[in-house]
Structure 1
Amino acid sequence: IIKNRYEFNTLADVIGSGSFGEVYKAIDKLTGETVVIKAVYLGRPNIPMDKLEQEASLLESLIHPCIARGLEHFMMNDLRGQKAMVFIMAYYANGDLQQYYSTKYSKLTDIPFEIRKKWMIQLLQGVEFMHSQQYTHRDLKIENAFLDENLDLVLGDFGVARKNVGTVLGTIAGTPQTMAPEVATSKPQSYPCDIWSLGIIWYQLLFGHPPFNAATPYLLVNQMLNREFVKPIKGSGHQDLEFLIDKMLQIEPKDRPTAKQLLEKFKTYIDNNYQETNTSQAQIKNQLLQKQLSPKEQTLKQMKERLCAQTEMQAQEIDQLVGVVIDQLLKPMDQISVQNPKTGLAMEENEMNEFLMQKKLAVKWSQLRQIALFELYG
């Protein structure tokens, strides 16, 4: 079925894979449209059939410009006889928002404010439509927002969404960093939990970082319940947005506005936003290109992020240590006080590894040197 209608290469066109199956970029031969094929193998462990059906039905029934499009889904057996559920979905050229900004920019706030403001509104419009259809998403985060070739944003990943008809949910679902207090504490929950998560994303888009940064879920919940923000909701220069974010991040669900109220209250702001954005597209594009990282800078950023993940160290610590290594690499040979420079370099490496161990740092000199060499000579 797939090969008859959709053209793709199982090796060259893979854009994602995991324990669930594979994701491919493909061409629909009937329409010429670029699509995404997601094959989920049902024989693999922890594959929830009911959630797959639900997500597929939602993506195909929630038709809105700010919600990811599901085109069709069906069951089939592959050449090895494995049974799979296949999703055909619209293709979003710039991937998810987290991937987009983390690979192309040093920080989220390098992206022009007009673009970030547009994303805030498109997120709100998607949530409002979803709520009007009596669904709660329950896992709103920037990784579940996708960008097309024009940098327009859509909501996706409805794996834990629920229908809200005469029932009140009380289960834990979602991501700790964007999870509403009532969800984290297993209290009754409904549409307001999405408003909290939306407020988290808006805060992140406005200030460039999440509002809470505790290292463990327990401490994170304490931060949320005490409203201990990394940075107070002020000082951005956009008081109207700060006011709304503060209302969205109220502890009591009943104190948060609905998505419809947010849209109605802010309709003039939304209209002005689109007018501003549409009349300055060339200027915004130039700003994006100026602040976008070069290919070398993107690679360097990825190398440092991988090392941070491997060592659980902060990016600032890695930067400082890489700076030390660069100083060592640029040291004149006559300052290495041995007859054999190679022996001297080995001695210095041993000394630095001992220093790192004494400081109880999980990084090795060779890892830092690899980044330093790329930064110098790339």
Structure 2
Amino acid sequence: MIGQGQFGTVYQLHLDEEDVDVAVKQIAKPDKNTLREIENQSKMEHKHLLTVITHFQVVNAKKKVSQFIVMPLMTQSLEDVINSGEIANVEYPIKQKWMIQMLLGTLYLHQNNIIHRDLKPGNILLDDDLNLYISDFGLSKSIDQSVAKTLVGTQLYMAPEIFESAKYDLKADVYSLGCIWYEILSDQFLLDVIQNSKEYNSEDFYLTGNIIHKLIPKLEFEEWDDFKKQCENMLRAMPAGRPSTKELYDTFKSNISKYQ
């Protein structure tokens, strides 16, 4: 086993015939919605989305059903880089590449009317060439407020409107992207930034996640003005004030060819 999360357990498997290692995600007791989402995910093809090689269902002797999804193996996530502190050693061009690549992957989802709902560094995977791939885009679910209180890792990157149980749209993903961009630009884990805020109160933080965005300070360096400005726009509390992924694409069009 190489990982376990909200949507299943991930194993590493070696395919002898192809002589390649793959990741296999096992989802126990999949419902109809999950099966439909897996099928939809298998149809999504983009260079910055983690592709589904194949998927199949197994029924064991006790008649328990599991769905298995086979994907390319990625041994590192953006979360690993940020939490280890290695993000501070990553060169600016690589950071720019990551921000552009996750924008392109999310834009593709939005063009296909798919909201990821759970964008976070743990779902952003890296290959050996430091190219970036968004995972779990077909399996993500909105998480109601009672569940969100216990999921601190996910909670950090959730848009305020989700906490407020309000109607949300593609702009919820833009907020989550803004949180991840903030970590890349600031070289800091978002939880550390929030806990170091003078206004931080642990009880409020866990009980009302919709105040999190108020605790994120402005980026205070001169470099990367365009990225910094758009990151702050992406973190606006009101969805209408955030740029769409298409608007972000238009803003960074000159960077796209370099880093896609």
TM-score category of the 2 structures, normalised to the smaller one = 0.7 to 0.9
Q: Does 1:74 align with 2:63?
A: no
Secondary structure at 1:66 match in 2: coil
* CA deviation after TM superposition for structure 1 residue 160, in Å: 2.2
Question: Partners of 2:27 and 2:209 in 1: how far apart?
Answer: 33
Alignment: residue pair count:
243
Paired position in structure 2 for 1:16: 3
Superimposed CA distance per residue, residues 309-360 of structure 1 (whole angstroms, 9 cap, x where no aligned partner):
xxxxxxxxxxxxxxxxxxxxxxxxxxxxxxxxxxxxxxxxxxxxxxxxxxxx
Superimposed CA distance per residue, residues 165-220 of structure 1 (whole angstroms, 9 cap, x where no aligned partner):
xxxxx955872111111111111100000001101100110002225344323354
Please list every run of 5 or more consecutive structure 1 residues that lacks an aligned counterpart in the other structure: 1-13, 43-47, 163-169, 276-378
Paired position in structure 2 for 1:274: 259
Question: Partners of 1:150 and 1:234 in 2: how far apart?
Answer: 30
Let me know the Cα RMSD of the aligned residues.
2.8
Paired position in structure 2 for 1:218: 207
Question: Partners of 2:88 and 2:215 in 1: how far apart?
Answer: 22
Change (3 A) 1:78 1:154: same
Question: Partners of 2:179 and 2:82 in 1: how far apart?
Answer: 17
- Paired amino acid for 1:270: I
| 1:185-264 superposed matches below 5 A | 185-209=164-188, 210=190, 212-213=194-195, 214=200, 215=202, 216-218=205-207, 220-224=209-213, 227-229=214-216, 231-235=217-221, 237-264=223-250
Paired position in structure 1 for 2:151: none
Q: Is the 8 A contact 2:46 2:105 kept in 1?
A: yes
Paired position in structure 2 for 1:302: none
TM-score of the aligned structures, taking structure 1 as reference length: 0.58
Which of the two has greater helix per residue? 1
TM-score of the aligned structures, taking structure 2 as reference length: 0.82
* CA deviation after TM superposition for structure 1 residue 264, in Å: 1.1
Change (3 A) 1:82 1:149: same
Question: Partners of 1:137 and 1:18 in 2: how far apart?
Answer: 16
* Partner residue of 1:265 out of 229, 251, 259: 251
* CA deviation after TM superposition for structure 1 residue 242, in Å: 0.9
Please list every run of 5 or more consecutive structure 2 residues that lacks an aligned counterpart in the other structure: 149-153
Q: Report which structure shows greater RCO (CA 8 Å, sep ≥6).
A: 2
Question: Partners of 1:129 and 1:260 in 2: how far apart?
Answer: 10
Question: Partners of 1:236 and 1:247 in 2: how far apart?
Answer: 17
* CA deviation after TM superposition for structure 1 residue 21, in Å: 6.5
Q: Does 1:99 align with 2:84?
A: no
User: Which is higher, the Rg of structure 1 or of structure 2?
Assistant: 1
Secondary structure at 2:25 match in 1: strand
